[in-house]
A and B are shown apart, each in its own frame.
Chain A
Amino acid sequence: MSKIKAENVNVYYGSKQALFDVSIDIAEKEVTALIGPSGCGKSTFLRCLNRMNDVIEICRVEGSIKMDNLELNSRKLDVVRLRENVGMVFQKPNPFPKTIYENVAYGPTIHGIAQSKEEMDQIVETSLKKAALWNEVKDRLDEIGTGLSGGQQQRLCIARAISVSPEVILMDEPCSALDPIATAQIEELIDDLKKEVTIVIVTHSMSQAARVSQKTGFFHLGKLIEFGPTDKIFKNPDNQQTQDYITGRFG
């Protein structure tokens, strides 16, 4: 079932066009990987899905992006509500310089999700458990989140993202700053999370895309070259460019 349906999305940074007619169907409760060389527009597309491009003043998005038939690329859309439903994990772990507890509790607090302290404690605990961090931090919830190791920080960011129970989580190269062990933990986590949420992940690592995703889209120079089941993209792509990129001939 399709969760997000993008049609003819064009993105411009000032006069420079960054995305050309991208159309893609993102299926519910699956992991969709977006791959491609640097500057190909995959992150730009990801940021269209929770309107993070709004922050960039010169950025202009055209086309239609629908999530459950709700038009995302509309001036009338309440961005705050959208971002409550579409969480995001960034390339560099960016926990708030506050305690671990406050990091996770921030989303539920501003969206008024928890009615009581007990409920909030429960949310923090579940989120940290889902992010496979609970056992490591349960005794030091009042320590500063930025004091954790890189992999723990990234899992804390994931816990923060899932604390508001979003339907979609966007991940922008979540493992690029992490060592292989931490990366493996995050990948495992992604596998668990996809039972409940739709995940779109941008990655530089093709092996990662092959490991975690069910569908893969290959971007090149702002165009979506090929999109399909991960198996097919990696084993038997239709397009020559995809073939060349997968086999490491460019990119």
Chain B
Amino acid sequence: MNSFKKNLLKKRYNAERRFQWYGKIAIGLALSFLAVFMFQIFSKGYSAFQKTWIVTEVHYDKELLLIDAESPSKDDLENADYYDVAYKAMTSLDPGLPEEEDRQLIQMVSYKYEAEVKDLLLKNPDYLGKIVPIKLTASDDVDQVHKGNYPRDIPEQNRRVNDYQLQIYDMLNERGDILSEFNISFFTSPDSREAELAGIASSFMGTVFSILVCLAFSFPVAVLAAIYLEEFAPKNKFTDFIEVNINNLAAVPSIVFGLLGLGVLLAVFNLPRSTPLVGGITLSLMTLPTIIIAARASLKAVPPSIREAALAMGASNMQTTMHHTVPLSMPGTLSGTIIGLAQALGETAPLILIGMVAFVNTIPGTPVDPAASLPVQIYIWSESAERGFVEKVSACIMVLLAFLILMNLAAQIVRHKFEKKWS
């Protein structure tokens, strides 16, 4: 081998080695971006899954509750006045505090503390007249202090928790009367203006309903369109034109579909605003082309020999399609559908336009009840100034990501488990 040839060979090997390194670096970069992103979200968001409680004692004094009956009924308890009892439960933490300063203590728990006091008695009617310990939801400021997210060393006038409240907090914490437990209410409560009470139940249900509506509208339409175009439609300029348009539709920015939803569904058809029904239909416009393209691709992937076999047996076009081609294409179609829905799951812009951005503090029971959706909830919370919402945003992102990962996993499983391999 002469030296020229040797050199050439060496160059070729070097080029290949370099190329492999470029690829490795690219993958490394992508993975590190993902790692940074995940770390950011998890480090900020994990604390939202903990809820801080303040433990104090409440005296269910019949006199203060304004209950006259000897053995009060459920209604009596329901209609009793809990203001004083709840107020006393909080102010008893520091009996020496002058009355005009009491707000400082009351502000350490959520504004719903009176309801919490009431709920405990309604659940345990025999507490009446007794002094019992009670857990009250800490305000988001105390919650953030407890989680260490709130700097204590900045000047008092810039702090939402003043020195006196910090002193009470430290005293309670030393006594072990500050509890940190798993935050169930984050999953069971609707949105709230108060960070400590806000939950994702409304937006989660809104997302679930939207996706279901989206599936119900887009799947049948898309599959029928794909079957017709792929198996029955004549191949001519007009069907080419339709195909180009479907491909274009897949690339249209989602906000345009939002405007369409606003202009047609709300303005012309007068469907109820801010509801998953409208949101789902708008999203289905987006998923429609995705599903059509996936369904056509998987119909195309069914080998022509299967169609020939069926046709040669005397099956009609319809029988060939329904007995053989469509069942064989279903795994691909389904996984395409799930991926289309996963895309729709993360859509924010069109939902904002059709009004799913409204503040909803009820949990929707049907697709025609007003609701938010997870991505919109992230948007709403990220706009809020309060520190308590920062961790909620990350926690909501985590829930959305978990939802997405589950759906993509389902798509993978459907594809690998049921797809026929053609040798």
Contacts and interface: CB of A to CB of B under 8 A. Distances in A.
Interface of A: 50, 52, 55, 57, 79-84, 87-88, 90, 92, 94-97, 106-107, 110-111, 146, 157, 160-161, 164
Contacts of A92: 305
A50 B312 CA distance: 8
Contacts of B316: 80
B328 interface: yes
B311 A57 contact: no
**Ranked 9 nearest A-B pairs via Cβ:** A83-B314, A94-B305, A88-B312, A84-B314, A94-B309, A107-B313, A80-B314, A97-B420, A110-B315
A57 B316 CA distance: 16
B314 A96 contact: no
B314 A111 contact: yes
Given A57-B235, A110-B319, A94 B308 contact: yes
A96 B311 contact: no
Given A92-B305, A96-B306, A52 B311 contact: yes
A90 B305 contact: yes
A95 B314 contact: no
A110 B315 CA distance: 7
B420 to A, nearest CB: 5
A107 B324 CA distance: 13
A146 B421 CA distance: 10
Nearest to A83: B314
A160 B313 CA distance: 8
A96 B315 contact: no
Interface of B: 234-235, 303, 305-316, 319, 323-324, 328, 420
27 contacts: A52-B311, A80-B314, A80-B316, A81-B314, A84-B314, A87-B312, A90-B305, A90-B308, A92-B305, A94-B309, A96-B306, A96-B324, A97-B306, A97-B420, A106-B310, A106-B313, A106-B315, A106-B323, A107-B313, A110-B314, A110-B319, A146-B420, A160-B309, A160-B313, A161-B312, A161-B313, A164-B313
Contacts of B234: 57
B312 A96 contact: no
Contacts of B308: 52, 55, 88, 90, 94
A111 B313 CA distance: 9
A96 B309 contact: yes
Nearest to A163: B313
B306 A94 contact: yes
A92 B423 CA distance: 11
Contacts of A84: 314
A50 B306 CA distance: 17
B303 to A, nearest CB: 8
Most buried by B among A57, A83, A87, A164: A83
A80 B316 CA distance: 7
Contacts of A90: 305, 308-309, 312
Contacts of B306: 94, 96-97
A119 B143 CA distance: 76
A177 to B, nearest CB: 11
Contact of B314 (A94, A157, A164): A164
Most buried by B among A88, A110, A160: A110
